[in-house]
Amino acid sequence: MLVLSYCHRKFIRLDIILMLMQFEDLTKQDLELVEKAKDVIRQRKSKRSTVGAALRTKNNKIFCGVNIEIECSAPCSICAEYAAIGTMVSEGENEIKTIVAISSNRQYSVLPPCGKCRQFISEFGNPSVIVQVNGKLKKTKLSELYPLPVVSD
Ligand SMILES: [Zn+2]
């Protein structure tokens, strides 16, 4: 793999970064969550919504959401993870166990959370995040993807 990534002020190969990260295989529950994320974006796909997210809480409840793109202002758009977390919080839950997002624009493949979402998700624990590595679905802790979140005083 020739993709390079900027890390610790040096360019190092992405495959080396991936070797250093810890991944786990998916469980049956994780695969169910992937299907939930696919289902929500299949059902709600539109010009505004192309990504679906599903999360499982520590209390084993599942919440889903889709992204909402606003034409007049990209910064006002929200990611699918935000929508799923908003529903979770509205229902009184506050800790995520596992989260996944699916892109309908990429043949319904898994999409890693964007940088803004990584910070947002970090406010709700250190969940497992389902990602695609070398074509295979794996899960890793958010802290592997985002080791230094901003924390308030
Ligand atoms: Zn995002």
3-state secondary structure of 86: helix
pLDDT reported for residue 48? 94
SS3 state of residue 95: coil
For residue 6, what pLDDT is reported? 53
Residues 135, 12, 119, 49, Cα dihedral to 10°: -40
Number of structural domains in the chain: 1
Q: Which of 9-13, 87-91, 107-111 shows the lowest per-residue confidence on average (mean pLDDT)?
A: 9-13
Q: Residue 151: inside a domain, yes or no?
A: no
pLDDT at 13: 79
| Ligand 1 centroid to residue 67 C-alpha, Å | 9
- CA 78–ligand 1 middle distance (angstroms): 7
User: Ligand 1 centre and the CA of 9: distance in Å?
Assistant: 25
Q: What is the CATH number of the domain that holds 39?
A: 3.40.140.10
Model confidence at 1: pLDDT above 70? no
**Catalytic machinery residues:** 81
> Cα separation of 26 and 74, whole Å?
33
Tell me the DSSP string of 16-65. HHHHHS--B---HHHHHHHHHHHHHHHHH-SSS--EEEEEEETTS-EEEE
Beta bridge partners of 138: 131
Q: Would residue 96 count as lying in a domain? A: yes
Residue-range definition of the domain harbouring residue 64: 23-145
Q: 15-46 pLDDT, tens per residue?
A: 888 888 999 999 999 999 999 999 999 999 99
Of 94 and 75, the structure prediction assigns the larger pLDDT to: 94
pLDDT tens track for 97-124: 999 999 999 999 999 999 999 999 999 9
Residue 112 lies in a domain: yes
With beta carbons less than 8 A apart as the criterion, state whether 143 and 32 touch: no
Ligand 1 centroid to Cα of residue 71, in Å, is 17
Q: What's the whole-model pTM score?
A: 0.90
Three-state secondary-structure class, residue 128: strand
Under the banding of pLDDT at 50, 70 and 90, the label for residue 9 is: low
Question: Residue 152: inside a domain, yes or no?
Answer: no
Question: Which helix H or strand E contains 11, and what residues bound it?
Answer: strand 10-13
